[in-house]
Amino acid sequence: MGEKTILVWFRNDLRIHDNEILLEAIKKADKVLPVYCFDPYYFTKNEYNNYKTGILRAQFLIESVSELRKNLRNKGAELIIRIGDPALILPKIAEDYQVSEVYHHREVAHEETNISEKVEAALWKLKLNLKHFIGHTLYHKEDLPFPIKDIPDSFVLFKKKIERESIVRQCLPTPEIIKIPTITNAGEIPNLSSLGFMSDMLGNSSNPQGLNGGEDAALLQLKTNIKDSIQNNWKPLRNGLNTYYSSKLSAWIALGCISLRHVYWEVINNNPEHLSPPQQQLIVDLLWRDYFRFMFKKHGQKFIPPLNSSFIEENSNETFAFEHWKMGKTGVDYIDAIMNELNETGFIINSNRQITASFLINTLKVDWRKGAAYFEEKLIDYSPASNWGNWAFIAGYNNAIASKYLIATAPSKVTENKTSVINN
């Protein structure tokens, strides 16, 4: 019998630490073939005429894939990189390298699952199996105290039950060495122009605080966060009456440059006796992320409610208001400052996301899905379940939970100022 090779399809899991598909492939096969596809679908425009991926996230992604390649090379491996539809590329590579199975981490949002279904169908024609792993959440699906269909829709109940009855698994070890077959054409890492971006599209945009994509940068950011919190110099941010902390880990978490379990255990192990308020908040925030993913798993597309048609009839001015909101020209200073920050840096803190989303929905009466689609383009940390889930909540999909969750303390300016956009 010949050697067994397993293809590891990297998607939003761009790391070598705590990565089950990589570790399992090493265990089960003689050789491992790591592959990443830049799928052109993600660089097209969506139905609301926004790019699915803005230029800042594209840059962050390129950096993250480059670092994955570097880290794999440090273990003796190589990352095959292609630009194209994974349903065409993966079967071709699988044939070329006589692969016996393909591993990937299962996604939950419908665009991502559509892609893996197409890949699965194409591989099946070659009698190859696409094996799905669960690896994007803090709590493993199989350790939940309820089946997916019975997960409480209330975050409060979800949190209470999980914290009482479930455990976070330990991280998996980072592989020492990874054996690969002889690779003839590993492929180049694309630059922004090969993904369809023009250099002038960058405009005034700049990466927030110079955050760079990739696993190493993510691990460093976590270390700095932990050190700051131990030395008690983690600076609280203030917004209206609220005080909160921001770890700025979201962009790395979204691309899987760092695992949630790694964040969790680093925080816990560095502070076995007493978690400080920012550390406690960080752990709860990770749970919010799990919650939205599990809600998507439970409800599928139903989690995103249909548009209330009276919204549009009432608001013939919708396009005008939406365009001004996007450009940071509503005339409401606080909202405009938030939108300018989003447009320039690709990052805004959680409460500002809530405030500007709530303003779009409740004051400007614009279809919330347009706002969510705009965030999809602009956010460096865009993650389907987190983005669409948060927007759906603010739009009142589940008012009881949303009102508990929403920090409804937009500065008075937002509600008191009458502006041209609102009046128009």
Ligand X SMILES: Cc1cc2nc3c(=O)[nH]c(=O)nc-3n(C[C@H](O)[C@H](O)[C@H](O)COP(=O)(O)OP(=O)(O)OC[C@H]3O[C@@H](n4cnc5c(N)ncnc54)[C@H](O)[C@@H]3O)c2cc1C
Query: Contact residues for ligand X (CB under 6 A)?
Result: 246-250, 253-254, 282, 285-286, 288-289, 292, 349-350, 353-354, 357, 375, 379, 381-383, 386-387, 390-391, 394
Q: Which is nearer to ligand X, 41 or 405 (CB)?
A: 405
Orientation of helix 277-299 relative to helix 155-165, angle to 10°? 110
The two most distant CA atoms of the chain are separated, in Å, by: 76
Cα separation, 199 vs 118, in Å, equals 33
Task: Identify the residue whose tokens are 């950011």.
Answer: 221
What values do phi and psi take at 89, rounded to 5? -75, -45
One-letter identity of residue 234:
W
DSSP lists the bridge partners of residue 103 as 8, 131
C-beta of 178 vs 395, nearer to ligand X: 395
In the complex with ligand X, the residue whose CB is nearer, 19 or 386, is 386
Residues 187 and 185: their CA atoms lie apart, in Å, by 6
- Smaller CB separation from ligand X, 122 or 257: 257
Q: What is the dihedral of CA 136, 297, 62, 209, to 10 degrees?
A: -80
Question: Least distance in Å: CB of 259 to ligand X?
Answer: 11
What is the smallest separation between the CB atom of 254 and ligand X, expressed in angstroms? 5
Reading the block at residue 142, the tokens are 């199989």
The Cα-based distances of 261 to 221, 230, 286, 340, 406 in angstroms read 15, 19, 9, 34, 26
Residue 240: CB minimum distance to ligand X, A: 15
Q: Of the two residues 86 and 389, which places its CB atom closer to ligand X in the complex?
A: 389
Cβ of residue 229: shortest distance to ligand X, in angstroms?
11
Measured from the CB atom, the residue of 187 and 371 that comes closer to ligand X is 371
Rounded Cα distance, 96 and 110, in Å: 30
DSSP E strands in 195-335: the ranges are 237-239, 242-244
Tokens of 324: 């001004």
Using the minimum distance from each CB to ligand X, give the nearer residue, 69 or 369: 369
Cα–Cα distance measured from residue 149 to residue 161, given in angstroms and rounded to the nearest whole number: 15
Least separation, in Å, of the C-beta of 333 and ligand X? Answer: 20
Structure tokens at 137: 């959440």
Taking the complex as a whole, the smallest distance from the CB of residue 253 to ligand X amounts, in Å, to 4
CB of 26 or CB of 286, closer to ligand X: 286
Question: Least distance (Å) from ligand X to the CB of residue 351?
Answer: 8
CB of 388 to ligand X, least distance (A): 8
Contact predicate 327/204, CB 8 Å: no
How far CA 408 is from CA of 29, 289, 352, 357, 412, in Å, comes to 53, 20, 11, 11, 11
End-to-end CA distance of the chain: 74
- Amino acid residing at 19: N
Q: Which is nearer to ligand X, 128 or 254 (CB)?
A: 254
For residues 7 and 32, give the distance between their C-alpha atoms in angstroms, rounded to a whole number.
Answer: 6
In angstroms, what is the minimal distance from the CB of 352 to ligand X? Answer: 8
Residue 281 Cβ vs ligand X, minimum distance, rounded to whole Å: 7
Residue in 406, 350, 339, 352 with CA at minimum distance from that of residue 378: 339
Nearer to ligand X, 5 or 221 (CB): 221
